[in-house]
Amino acid sequence: MKKKLSHGTKWNLRCLFCIVPSFLGCALFFLIPYIRVLYYSVINNQFQKKFVGPENYVEVMENEFFQLAMKNSLLLIGIGVPVLMGLSLTLSFLLSFSLRRFSFLRDFFIFPMLVPTAAVVIVWREFFATSETALPIYALFVWKNLGLCIILLTAALTTIDEAVYEAARLDGAKPLRLHLQISIPLIAPTILFTLLLAIMNTFKIFKESFLFYGSKYPPNHSYTLQYYMNNNFQKFDYQSLASASVLTSLLVLVIVLVGLSMQRRVQS
């Protein structure tokens, strides 16, 4: 019995030894900097360091540029993500059910992830030279993330037993019904995960947008949260930057919690 306990204790210590570096890394590069951001968000400036409570948050939320940035970021989520998911699902169905015929397309959809953004933007400027809307950024977001979404969804679809489809076909199920009543419910957890990933990637579209417009002040329709925080960083307005960062992180947290809640309901 003592030998078993000793062996279990040694195994737990080994596991702890392997986990400690990850915890230290998270604390050093995420937790401690985030606490510092929280601190900057509740003081008047980095020199006097007077506690002002939620005053910075109120000022940021009342700022017209923050409101514009938040609106555009939410519009990108509300419009770009559904378009991305719809295209990803459609193309994933084609690839999974005709895998041999369309196998060459898998490499084609991965291509956008490998091409440097600066090279893509040059081509994008030619296509959307006369555009006065946010369409170029939406199209760039969909194009850059389509490959990853297709890979995840196609992998999930290929795990479905073919016998399930054969039984449904024998019962007279049409292709559309197969997808709606069999494929989508069976891969629902993967769809939700891909959806969350797509939403998170909307907050990473800053580099592409910045290179496309070549300015830190793009047209109003493309001014997102990343522009707001980048401009405040360059102006050394750390209080507005910190407050906007915390509000953005809370928005991301709410989205993730809602997604995880939906995923648990689907799996239960």
User: CB-based burial of residue 61 (10 Å sphere; 0-12 exposed, 13-18 middle, 19+ buried)?
Assistant: middle
Q: Which among 241, 252, 221, 230 is positioned nearest to 75, based on CA atoms?
A: 221
Whether 134 has a pLDDT exceeding 70, the answer reads yes
Q: Please tell me which residue, 107 or 101, carries the higher pLDDT value.
A: 107
Q: Evaluate whether residue 52 is within a structural domain.
A: no
Whether 170 has a pLDDT exceeding 90, the answer reads no
Same domain, 154 and 28: no
CATH number at residue 130: 1.10.3720.10
Mean pLDDT of 2-26: 70
Same domain, 62 and 28: no
Q: Evaluate whether residue 162 is within a structural domain.
A: yes
Find which of 8-17, 79-88, 253-262 is predicted with most confidence, using mean pLDDT.
79-88
pLDDT for residue 107? 65
Same domain, 20 and 142: no
Same domain, 12 and 88: no
Q: Evaluate whether residue 50 is within a structural domain.
A: no
Q: Which among 221, 219, 248, 216 is positioned nearest to 232, based on CA atoms?
A: 216
pLDDT for residue 99? 55
Same domain, 122 and 85: yes
User: What are the distances in angstroms from CA 253 to CA 25, 56, 177, 248?
Assistant: 21, 20, 35, 9
Same domain, 96 and 28: no
Residue 219 dihedral angles phi and psi, to the nearest 5°: -60, 155
Same domain, 61 and 35: no
What is the rounded end-to-end Cα distance, in angstroms, of the chain?
39
Q: Evaluate whether residue 250 is within a structural domain.
A: yes
Could you tell me the residue range of the domain that residue 230 belongs to? Answer: 57-267
Q: Cβ distance 95 to 153 under 8 Å?
A: no
- Number of domain units in the chain: 2
Same domain, 107 and 234: yes
Q: Evaluate whether residue 45 is within a structural domain.
A: no
Amino acid at 32: I
pLDDT for residue 2? 45
pLDDT for residue 267? 65
Q: Evaluate whether residue 51 is within a structural domain.
A: no
Same domain, 77 and 26: no
pLDDT per residue over 105-126, tens digit each?
666 777 777 778 788 888 888 8
Q: Which among 152, 163, 24, 176 is positioned nearest to 92, based on CA atoms?
A: 152
Lowest mean pLDDT segment, chosen from 50-64, 117-131, 165-179, 226-240? 165-179
Q: Evaluate whether residue 164 is within a structural domain.
A: yes
Whether 162 has a pLDDT exceeding 80, the answer reads no
Q: Evaluate whether residue 49 is within a structural domain.
A: no
Residue the block writes with tokens 């606490």: 35
pLDDT per residue over 65-98, tens digit each?
999 999 999 999 999 999 999 999 888 887 776 6
Same domain, 2 and 98: no
pLDDT for residue 62? 93
Same domain, 78 and 25: no
pLDDT per residue over 179-199, tens digit each?
777 788 888 888 998 999 999
Same domain, 149 and 17: no
